[in-house]
Structure 1
Amino acid sequence: MTKRTIRKIAVLGSGVMGSRIACHFAGIGLPVLLLDIVPADAKDSDNKALRNKIVNDALQAAIKSNPSPVYHKDVVKRITTGNFDDNLKDIATADWVIEVVVERLDIKKQLFEKVDAVRKPGTLITSNTSGIPIHLLNEGRSDDFKKHFCGTHFFNPPRYLRLLEIIPTPETDPAIVDFLMDYGDRFLGKTTVLAKDTPAFIANRIGVYGIMAIFGLIEKMGLTIDEVDSLTGPIIGRPKSATFRTADVVGIDTLVKVAKGVYESCPQDEARDSFRIPGWLDKMVASNWLGDKTGQGFFRKVRNSSPTGGGREGAGGGEKEILTLDLNTMEYGPRQKPKFSSVDAAKPIDDLKQRLKMLVAAGDKAGEFYRQFHYGLFSYISHRIPEISDEPYRIDDAMMAGFGWEIGAFESWDVLGVERTVKAMKEAGYSVAPWVDEMIAGGHKTFYHFENGRKLSYDPAAKTYKPVPGGADFISIANFASAPVWKNGSCTVVDLGDEVLGLQWNTKMNSIGGDVLSGIGKAIELAEKNYRGLVIANEGPNFSAGANVGMIFMLAIEQEYDELDMAIRMFQNTMMRVRYSSVPVVVAPHALALGGACEMSLHADKVCAAAETYTGLVELGVGLIPGGGGTKEFVLRSSDEMHEDEPETITLKNRFLTIATAKVATSAHEAYGLGIYRKGLDEVVMNQNRRVAEAKRSVVELQESGYVMPVQRRDVKVLGRTALGTLYSGIHGMHTAGYATDHDALVARKLAYVMCGGDLSEPTLVSEQYLLDLEREAFLSLCGERKTLERIQSVLKGGKPVRN
């Protein structure tokens, strides 16, 4: 096959999905042509702005939306807009044309007829449809069109939801399917899942079944909306939006449309009746209560007329309140905080799999809900093979990437015990597909198992296990955990192969406390003795929310300052151990990598960060300064960045402001601009699943290129009073203008003092240890401030610092 390169993209349709797909492609560096229709009132106009009003307005709306569809605002410059009448001919320069117009077969087919006439041979043509059979879209098209056509179903928002379903037709060239599966993975950062051309494909088929089945359980068990959302969110490894909030975000009309589509198109579906629309749901659609898009759905946001409540909707002032719909009365009322004893008991358990076992086994109403819900789900997914997928892993991949599940449904079944659960399901009146019984009878007790760190999935057709594709590139440290090199209460060190160690930890929010610091030190010690180097990563929802502030608060409130000093020294020494080890240490963060986790990245030999990494030194928010070497490292980098042709204070001031305003990069790409990641050294990995493999490769490359242990720096230039006065003056200005509270100003002055190297009379060269000592002293003094402790307490209780 001729090597295929994508140099330019054309996106046809600039609605919510089209504009954001265009932004995502621009975000990976490609020029994009975004087209839409000419407004009806501009058909006869020569004014280009009027003719492109629809596409330009849509793109601007996308750019302004929250969360942002781009990794960095500058990437929008890569998008060129136009309209179908004037610019469709320009798709001849594109290597891939993606159709995202209205969900009507006739309109799509009319557009494809025009596309077929102007595209260059060999151009990829794909449709993002979610409801129209893919094979109907290429009817009447040329052979070359059919050969290069298939479905590419992105999920909204395309930047954040990682699922990309690839749906070929019988005429699609298999080489094109292989190319799109690989391209979506490596370049777009997607979990690419090969789907069959069946109604709703994979993720929506299973996901909408799950929601509709819950609707049925509500009536059967007498549950409320608030109760269900408390049971189906993070407690079982699902997104915070749980069930009903998800429906409001997606759009209740969209949910109903998919459910009706499955009901009408799948007469052989054994659970077809689950897709019947309840009467109360029909009433909501008829009343235009469609969720966020219409201002109300299962929830409605109102504003109280005063902070004490009691106001009418829409009144000025007051606090916002979210009301919940009562499905019995169809009226909104205050949200209730449900209480289930089993849920309360399970919440402290960090390990999701152990938590899931406990919840499903519970004897209360919540336990009964979990059993009924999982039995129905397991039955449904078993019967969807081979209808929508030939293998279980594709269904799990689709649900994790498209619906944000932490673990897939088949993996959950493994956790609960396949054979034991099948028996309980049958006793409760739920069926399983024959292949599951055959699997158990053949001595295969799980859908997945691991061999030498590689994940294998049961193949019902072959009646044996086969490796999940991408095993060499999708390294998961957790897959090696059954044979650890070393472990303690929080950490596990494993052999990743090729003489590279991997370290992961599992704590609440993956915070970094004493156990984790000990684990990092031990992992480096082991790597220095017998290995090429170390990869630090984990598989949790977040890399790490930072240092264990609960421990800091406890020691500070009890005035155990000697122990607190030792804890800070340990953190600093561990970060310096990361920097000054005799083997390469590579950190592979993802999602949240804040505070102490950011400091770890700052000290690594290299960072291989997932594109969706949100990192920054956020300690100022809780009334502290970075105390694990982060302040020191920013001063060191500032010193290295100073140039003779600009004032020395400029680079220091920029670094100071980044910490003082607790800036967080909203993507790994933005972290370069904040000076956290280093251009030409640190790496952004588009597909989060490839982080560990890339980090392992980097360890090997660094070691083979002649890695030499760095020497601690003694030549860090600090500016003393030369810069201290400037920074103090800026802090005073912010305080006087009301942008900083008294305590903000106090903390900022402490930070300025450290970053200037203290009250030195002139610029001086100092050691890293000198700066670490200043940093630690400032951190300790701030731990004795009442307002700092109030902020930390506020974070521990409610997740946000109080502004005091």
Structure 2
Amino acid sequence: MKRTIRKVAVLGSGVMGSRIACHFAGVGLQVLLLDMVPKEAAAVQDKLLRNKLVNDALQAAIKSNPSPLYTKDAAKRIRTGNFTDDMKAISGCDWIIEVVVERLDIKKMIFDQVEEHRKPGTLVSSNTSGIPIHLMAEGRSEDFRKHFCGTHFFNPPRYLRLLEVIPTADTDPEVVNFFLEYGSLQLGKTTVLCKDTPAFIANRIGVYGIMSIFRLIDELQLTIDDVDALTGPVIGRPKSATFRTADIVGIDTLVKVAQGVAANCPADEQKDIFQPPVWLSKMVGDNWLGDKTGQGFFRKSKSATGEKEILTLNLKTGEYAPRQKPRFATLETAKPVDDLKTRLGMVVQGTDKAGEFYRLFHYGLFSYISHRIPEIADELYRIDDAMMAGFGWEIGAFESWDVLNVGKTTEKMKAAGFTVAPWVDEMLAAGIKSFYTVQNGKRLFYDIASKSYRPIPGADAFIVMKNFEGETVWKNSACRTYHLGDDVLGLEWYTKMGSIGGEVLEGIQKSILLAEDKYKGLVIANDTTNFSAGANVGMIFMFAIEQEYDELDMAIRQFQQTMTRARFSAVPVVVAPHALALGGACELTLHSDRACAAAETYIGLVELGVGLIPGGGGTKEFTLRAADEMHEDEPETITLKNRFLTIATAKVATSAHEAFELGILRKGHDEVVFNQGRRITEAKKSVIELYDSGYISPVVRQDIKVLGRSALGALLTGINGMWRANYATDHDALVARKLAYVMCGGDLSEPTLVSEQYLLDLEREAFLSLCGEKKTLERIQSVLKSGKPIRN
């Protein structure tokens, strides 16, 4: 049957419930958020008092940072109420999700009321992370059981992409398939089908990994600071690594999950690892639970000089002390290496204590995941998907095993006393040497049941650039251009932080030229952590510090020419940004025929932060758009001022939706793709659509209205006011005046129509002049050293 979700009821407004409600509202759904009537309001009729608990929880969620909403206006889609007065309203909802406290008796009471009011055929699910799904379905009507399922979101629901779908034996397969598809397409999630086993997939593996590290810390005599340095980005894990993650999640929550596995998984060969060590149990007993109680493995404090500092717990003494920077030769050697897979190969070969840690940790992990099939999943890719989406791993555990060579690593594991499941030995004996392979641009996984490679179901919806290496059309040391099929080219680059330098600009120009020759168009995207942090400021700094102004002028011209080439190419150029898309990456997006941006895209023109103005056409483009947006019924300077302030304050959109509000993305033109993994596929579809509908290259504009002195005076007055109020430094004011001059078209006596090239020339001249400013160079140098600009 065809299902449409328009309205969702969320039952329970705690940390998870309120944020799940916000995520549903963020994707455009109407949401009914319900919770209990406070005890003190049980006998009163005042609706505000009776809804105080749910309203306070929702407001706390809305005000939290990072925001659970794509835009503030999305909160208007959430209506609040209470279980006593408003449960009947769930009859108008298409999906009812329970998110109350983790107690089976309370959940059953809630489902009693759901049974009373829901319409037959309405979807019902639970967000439980620990209670078996089938226990909640017992005793329910046949229609309820057919439409009931576990849907486990991870916190925070907007940012962590995992949605575990856990059916019971009675769940209708149509319902399961709907949740899997809807979660992926509409909610932007990596949806993973799980079995109804304790902790499902992600928490089962993730908590095993954490608890095994707790054992290793004692065995190898490591400190908390040691382990968090070893288990963070260097091996493709989040910055929060191990112990910081535990503080964020809640140490009591971690222990509860671990004890649940130990108690309910008698056949788990590693069940003893899930028993908390003595020091961990003591922390729970002392209420040192992490962020929620103000201290856990870490505690915030103030130094003798009054500065904020973070202290680390010494597990032996129980005392907190200033954090210590670990020094391991293995780490120092691996950190400068950009490629994660190369780094993994290096760290497990380390000859120091760090190398020993990496070997023992990975051997234990690989052994554990091999034995969990088919207990928690029938297919190995589900485990990798769950860990990447739920715990933020860059690559999955089985893929890591592939990187380290399955056959050789398995031999070393056995020599070190670790076992692997029989199916791994059978796979290797059959001459199959890896868990994954790529054929014709498609990723295949080793299927244990058929003992052969099979395509990952649903993978056709996802284009992964690196899977097309066999279809490389052109490359240099920073870029590759692939044929993505259907006469569409794809360009990706893999510089540090996605920085855009000379070779990337060459790649864009060359890819457009190739596409114009015999293809329908070009997709520009990549599969790295961030799309791009912008132009290569290191190159700018080098030219400026050596006063190579001719070289610098040439570099800026090349950047502008490349953006212009993207705008006026003979075929469609579609950009698919995600995560960071700053500075030059934002300028590229502004000049594309269409942007297919991931919902989690943080995009903006940030050059003012380093003492520059956007010099790759960004200032020109904002001026052009301001001119097009001017209305006769409002002062012309209003629109220009808004555009000016967006650049002058270096605003970065906190989502693709907010990028529309900032005027970076264009309403009715650019697209938001909720599932980040689908954005390249959608971009390819856009290229084909634009081409097949008779693509016509835009015309170079000669009619851009600039306001000259009439607007320049107003902007300079505003800048002076900000400076006098100490909101802007002397240098901030200098840069802002340069920006205002360009956006007003210079010191013109009256409004004038100018060309795009006129504005590009003004922009380039201002950029060049700022590169000669000492304070600009100080800001750039600070960014290169620390990643953050100084405010001078």
Task: Give the shorter-chain TM-score range.
Answer: over 0.9
Distance 2:304 2:717 in 1: 41
Distance 2:415 2:760 in 1: 64
Which whole-Å deviations, capped at 9, do the CAs of 1:445-477 have from their partners, x for residues lacking one?
Answer: 110111111111111111011101222211111
2:568 to 573, 576, 580: 580
Residue 149 of structure 2 contacts residue 168 of structure 2 at CA under 8 Å; is this kept in 1?
yes
The match for 1:327 among 315, 319, 330 is 315
Partner residue, 1:229: 228
Please give the secondary structure, in 1, of the residue aligned with 2:746.
coil
Deviation at 1:716, TM superposition (A): 1.1
Mapped partners of 1:495, 1:364: distance in 2: 44
Q: Secondary structure at the match of 1:758?
A: coil
Distance 2:732 2:10 in 1: 47
SS at match of 1:268: coil
Identity across aligned pairs (percent)? 75
- The two structures have a TM-score, normalised by structure 2, of 0.99
What is the identity, as a one-letter code, of the residue corresponding to 1:193? V
Q: Name which of structure 1's ranges 208-217 and 356-365 shifts more when overlaid on structure 2.
A: 356-365
Which residue does the alignment assign to 1:97?
Answer: 96
Partner amino acid, structure 1, of 2:736: A
The yes-or-no answer on 1:766 pairing with 2:765 is no
SS of 2:574's equivalent in the other structure is strand
In structure 2, what residue type is equivalent to 1:433?
A: A
For the residues of structure 2 that align with 1:482 and 1:198, how far apart are their CA atoms? Answer: 40
List structure 1 segments (4+ residues) > 3 angstroms apart after TM superposition.
none
Q: 1:678 is aligned with what amino acid?
A: R
* Aligned twin of 2:429: 441
Task: Find the counterpart in structure 1 of residue 183 from structure 2.
Answer: 184
| Structure 2: runs of 5 or more not aligned | none
2:644 aligns with 656
| Correspondent of 1:702 among 690, 696, 702 | 690
Question: CA offsets per residue over residues 394-421 of structure 1, 9 Å max, x none?
Answer: 0000000000001101111111111111
Structure-1 residue corresponding to 2:530? 542
Q: 2:345 aligns with which of 347, 357, 360?
A: 357
Alpha-carbon displacement from aligned partner over 1:410-446 (angstroms, at most 9, x marks no partner) = 1111111111110111111111101011111111111
Structure 1 residue 413 and structure 2 residue 412: aligned? no
Partner residue, 2:283: 284
Deviation at 1:796, TM superposition (A): 1.3
Picking from 440, 447, 454, the partner of 1:452 is 440
Partner of 1:399: 387
Q: Secondary structure at the match of 1:189?
A: coil
Secondary structure, counterpart of 1:389 in structure 2: coil
Shift in Å, 1:633:
0.4
Verify the 8 A CA contact 2:21 2:33 in the aligned structure 1.
yes
Match of 1:19 in 2: 18
Aligned equivalents of 2:157 and 2:262: distance in 1?
27
Other structure's SS at 1:504 match: strand
CA distance in 2, matches of 1:159, 1:720: 44
CA distance in 1, matches of 2:75, 2:723: 36
Note if 1:208 corresponds to 2:185: no
Q: For residues 10-52 of structure 1, what are the alpha-carbon distances to aligned partners after superposition, in whole Å with 9 as ceiling and x for unaligned?
A: 0000000000000110111111110001111111111111111
2:294 and 2:76 map into 1 onto residues whose CA distance is: 33
**Structure 2 residue matching 1:132: 3-state secondary structure:** coil
- 1:746 aligns with 734
Q: 1:615 aligns with which of 600, 603, 616?
A: 603
Structure 1 match to 2:238: 239
Q: In the aligned structure 2, how far is the partner of 1:368 from the partner of 1:574? A: 48
Quick one: distance in 2 between partners of 1:305 and 1:54? 41
Whole-angstrom distance in 1 between the partners of 2:334 and 2:496? 13
What's the secondary structure of 1:485's corresponding residue?
Answer: strand
Is the Cα contact below 8 Å between 2:217 and 2:223 reproduced in 1? yes
User: What aligned pairs does 1:452-471 form with structure 2 within 5 A after superposition?
Assistant: 452-471=440-459
Among 632, 647, 657, the alignment partner of 1:644 is 632
Matched, 1:521 2:509: yes
The match for 2:768 is 780
2:288–2:296 CA contact under 8 A, matched in 1: yes
Structure 1 residue 482: deviation in Å?
3.6
Q: 1:126 matched to which residue of 2?
A: 125
Q: Give the equivalent residue in structure 2 for 1:314.
A: none
1:294-322 deviation line (CA, Å, top 9, x unaligned)? 0000000002352xxxxxxxxxxx22100
Letter in 2 for 1:29: G
Instruction: Determine helix, strand or coil for the equivalent of 1:472.
Output: helix
Aligned residue for 2:348, secondary structure, equals helix
CA deviations 1:548-597 (Å, max 9, x no partner) are: 11111111111111111111111111111110100000000000000000
* 1:735 aligned partner, one-letter code: W
SS at match of 1:361: coil
Q: C-alpha deviations, 1:259-281, integer Å up to 9, x for none?
A: 00000011111111111110000
Q: Which amino acid aligns with 2:47?
A: K
- State the SS of the aligned residue for 2:460: coil
Q: Contact 2:613–2:619 at 8 Å: present in 1 too? A: yes
- Distance in 1 between the 2:654 and 2:727 partners? 23
Equivalent position SS for 2:312: strand
Which residue number corresponds to residue 473 of structure 1? 461
- Is the aligned partner of 1:344 residue 2:343? no
**What corresponds to 1:552 in structure 2?**
540
CA distance in 1: counterparts of 2:99 and 2:521, whole angstroms: 46
Whole-angstrom distance in 1 between the partners of 2:651 and 2:590:
15
The aligned runs of 1:7-86 (5 Å cut-off) are: 7-86=6-85
> More displaced, 168-177 or 266-275?
266-275
Match of 2:358 in 1: 370
Does the 8 Å contact 2:471/2:484 carry over to 1?
no
Q: CA deviation at 1:356?
A: 1.1
Listed one character per residue, the Cα deviations across residues 316-362 of structure 1 (whole Å, up to 9, x for unaligned) are xx221000001111100010011112211212211111111111122
In structure 1, the residue matched to 2:151 is 152
- Counterpart-to-counterpart distance in 2, 1:619 and 1:510: 16
Counterparts of 1:491-502 in structure 2 under 5 Å? 491-502=479-490
CA pair 425-482 structure 1, distance change in 2 beyond 3 A: farther
1:254 to 2:253 alignment? yes
User: In the aligned structure 1, how far is the partner of 2:334 from the partner of 2:492?
Assistant: 23
**CA distance in 1: counterparts of 2:58 and 2:612, whole angstroms:** 40
Question: What's the offset of the Cα at 1:8?
Answer: 0.7
Aligned partners of 2:701, 2:367: CA distance in 1, in Å? 62
- In structure 2, how many angstroms separate the alpha carbons of the residues matched to 1:573 and 1:359? 43
1:244-289 per-position Cα deviation (integer Å, ceiling 9, x unaligned):
0000000000000000000001111111111111000011111110
Secondary structure of the structure 2 residue equivalent to 1:589 = coil
Aligned mates of 1:149, 1:661 — CA distance in 2: 49
Partner of 2:194: 195
Which range moves more in the overlay, 236-245 or 464-473? Answer: 464-473
Q: What is the rounded CA distance, in whole Å, between the counterparts of 2:695 and 2:169 in structure 1?
A: 52
Q: Which amino acid aligns with 2:242?
A: T
Does residue 690 in structure 1 map to residue 690 in structure 2? no
Change in CA separation of 1:482 and 1:221 when aligned onto 2, cut-off 3 Å:
farther
Counterpart of 2:142 in structure 1 is 143
Match of 1:312 in 2: none
1:755 aligns with 2:743: yes
Aligned to 1:271: 270
Letter in 2 for 1:668: A
Summarize deviations over 1:747-773 as a string: whole Å, max 9, x none.
000000111111111111111111111
SS in 1 for 2:266: coil
For these two proteins, the number of residue pairs brought into alignment is: 792
Amino acid at match of 2:38: P
Counterpart position of 2:111: 112
